[in-house]
A and B are shown apart, each in its own frame.
Chain A
Amino acid sequence: GAVVSQHPSWVICKSGTSVKIECRSLDFQATTMFWYRQFPKQSLMLMATSNEGSKATYEQGVEKDKFLINHASLTLSTLTVTSAHPEDSSFYICSARDWRPAGETQYFGPGTRLLVL
């Protein structure tokens, strides 16, 4: 099946630093990728929809200047958490949409755990 990778899988950083997370679709082209965040014992919450070659669409309450998204190619989207603070510590998961099967399927990356000290 389709594979989505994320890098890094773990990040520990000091408060105030910026962290970049990469999401790659390895064997298919993804015009649309999604970024989710999951806090402990909570469900996944969509942060933004990343569209190749255009600006991302952010969900209500998500600061676009704090969570920068770039989707410059059909296989790569990046999420940069700028000036990270402890409350940004979370599990960040991307997914990519694959149109190839009948219908549409979203595949999830393995996630990135961010801990801001």
Chain B
Amino acid sequence: RKEVEQDPGPFNVPEGATVAFNCTYSNSASQSFFWYRQDCRKEPKLLMSVYSSGNEDGRFTAQLNRASQYISLLIRDSKLSDSATYLCVVNIGNAGNMLTFGGGTRLMVKP
């Protein structure tokens, strides 16, 4: 079983749609959680951290369910510019503070 699992997609949605991505992680000792965005042939960029209480940043809402070891990202009012791969990232807080990446979910927003 992969440490961080995501549906690879692609998710093809029209502009203005609401889309949700899910992610599960296997290590119950995981301490911090993030969503990164990666555009084609570019490096990943931090989209938002994910907190237990849930957090929102504009059109983006992230939620964490520690009991189910599940993370979600909701994008409202999708824009064409949201087209990218969204990476679920987990830090188990070990000595090296290694980030473990999910395989990514590809989103295509169409006019």
A57 to B94, CA, bound (A): 13
Q: Which residue of A lies closest to B106 (CB)?
A: A41
Known: A43-B87, A43-B104. A106 touches B43 (CB 8 A): no
**Is the beta-carbon distance between B103 and A43 smaller than 8 angstroms?**
yes
**Which residue, of A42, A43, A110, A113, has the highest number of chain B Cβ atoms within 10 A?**
A43
The A-B contact count (CB < 8 A) is 39
**Is the beta-carbon distance between A42 and B46 smaller than 8 angstroms?**
no
Q: Smallest CB–CB gap between B10 and chain A, Å? A: 11
Residues from chain A with a CB closer than 8 A to the CB of B46 are 105
Is A44 part of the contact surface with B, judged by Cβ < 8 Å?
Answer: yes
Is B1 part of the contact surface with A, judged by Cβ < 8 Å?
Answer: no
**Is the beta-carbon distance between A109 and B96 smaller than 8 angstroms?**
no
0 or 1 for each of A85-117: is its CB under 8 Å from B? (1 = yes): 000000101010100000111101111010000
The 4 closest A-B pairs by CB, nearest first: A108-B43, A43-B103, A49-B96, A43-B101
* Chain B residues packing against A (C-beta within 8 Å): 32, 41-46, 87, 96-104
* Chain A residues packing against B (C-beta within 8 Å): 32, 34, 42-46, 49, 57, 91, 93, 95, 97, 103-106, 108-111, 113
Give 23 CB contacts A-B under 8 Å: A32-B96, A32-B97, A34-B99, A42-B103, A43-B87, A43-B101, A43-B102, A44-B44, A44-B87, A44-B101, A45-B101, A46-B99, A49-B96, A57-B96, A93-B44, A97-B97, A104-B97, A108-B43, A108-B44, A110-B42, A111-B41, A111-B42, A113-B41
